[in-house]
Amino acid sequence: MLDDLAREDVIRTVDSMVAELLDAAHITAPPIDVIALAQAHLGFTVCVDSSQPQRGRAQRTLGKKQIYLKPEPREERHQWTVAHEIGEHLKSELLARLGIEPGQTRAMAGESLANLFAYRLLVPTPWFKTDAPTFNYDLLALKARYATSSHEVIAMRFLDLPAPCVVTIIDNEKVSRRKGNAFALKRALLPIEKCCWEQVTRTSESTTLREAEWTVTGWPVHELDWKREILRTEREEW
């Protein structure tokens, strides 16, 4: 079963397949246009379908591989959907490399292979593990480099790096995601996190605050009808 395997083995296999795919497509640096990759290298036809109820679906029609996308306000959502569908397309090969029969799988710790693949295709590990510290983990600078990926995807990829941290996503003043890679924090924000978040919300500018062993950096992702703030929290003793 997928959830019986070591997470490291699964991640290593996914990263290896992403690297092979990029190498075969002669893609050597971000940003990755996943839609172009799907069409030019994997033979998919990608089109927008206003009648599409979900974000995307893939199917074969008369032997042709097609991905139908729901209209979205941001291109990053289409890029994510296609990256996910590529992961679904390559799932059987991933499972074969892991030595698993397709009917034996279920999600690993709440994650699907297609999701893991999409994260690592949009933000490939070999590049990101160098770029993140080089850019001092600045989410906005990294977004400029990985332009086809959303701020959230890039931020959650911080958790796959050696540097210990907690990433918090706050949507319209409510914590929607909060996860760490080395130490745990309660759902409620620490006082310094709350101060950082309030300053980012008020100024719509990136902010870094330090107090005792804590360092918190916050970034605004503000739109007309939606306000999102993303926090990265570090703890000095770690």
Asked whether the predicted pLDDT for residue 144 surpasses 70, the reply is yes
Confidence bin at 160 (pLDDT 50/70/90): very high
Domain ranges for the chain, please list them: 2-123, 126-235
Average pLDDT over residues 10-19: 95
CA 2 – CA 102 distance, rounded (Å): 10
**Distance set, CA 238 to CA 111, 162, 183, 212, 233 (Å):** 26, 11, 8, 13, 11
pLDDT digits (tens, 9 = 90+) for 59-85: 555 456 777 777 676 889 989 999 998
List, in sequence order, every residue forming a beta bridge with 179; answer none if it has no partner. 167
Chain mean pLDDT for the chain: 88
Q: What percent of the chain has pLDDT over 70?
A: 85
Asked whether the predicted pLDDT for residue 57 surpasses 90, the reply is no
CA 196 – CA 230 distance, rounded (Å): 10
Q: What percent of the chain has pLDDT over 90?
A: 64
Q: What is the dihedral of CA 163, 194, 76, 58, to 10 degrees?
A: 80
Asked whether the predicted pLDDT for residue 5 surpasses 70, the reply is no
Q: Which residue has the higher pLDDT, 108 or 42?
A: 42
Q: Which CATH architecture has domain 126-235?
A: 2-Layer Sandwich (3.30)
Asked whether the predicted pLDDT for residue 157 surpasses 50, the reply is yes
- pLDDT given for residue 3 in this prediction: 52
Placement of tokens 């290896």 in the chain: 16
- Which of the four CATH numbers 1.20.1530.20, 1.10.230.10, 1.10.10.2910, 1.10.101.10 does domain 2-123 have? 1.10.10.2910
- pLDDT given for residue 207 in this prediction: 97
- Are 2-123 and 126-235 the same fold in CATH? no
List, in sequence order, every residue forming a beta bridge with 230; answer none if it has no partner. 169, 219
pLDDT digits (tens, 9 = 90+) for 81-136: 999 989 988 988 998 998 887 665 554 444 688 999 999 999 999 999 999 999 99
Asked whether the predicted pLDDT for residue 210 surpasses 60, the reply is yes
Question: What pairing do the DSSP bridges indicate for beta strands 56-61 and 166-171?
Answer: unpaired
Q: Would you state the structure tokens that stand for residue 192, as one six-digit string?
A: 């310094």
- Residue 44, classified by CB atoms within 10 Å of its CB into exposed (0-12), middle (13-18) or buried (19+), is buried
Q: Are 8 and 16 in contact (CB under 8 A)?
A: no
Average pLDDT over residues 195-199: 98
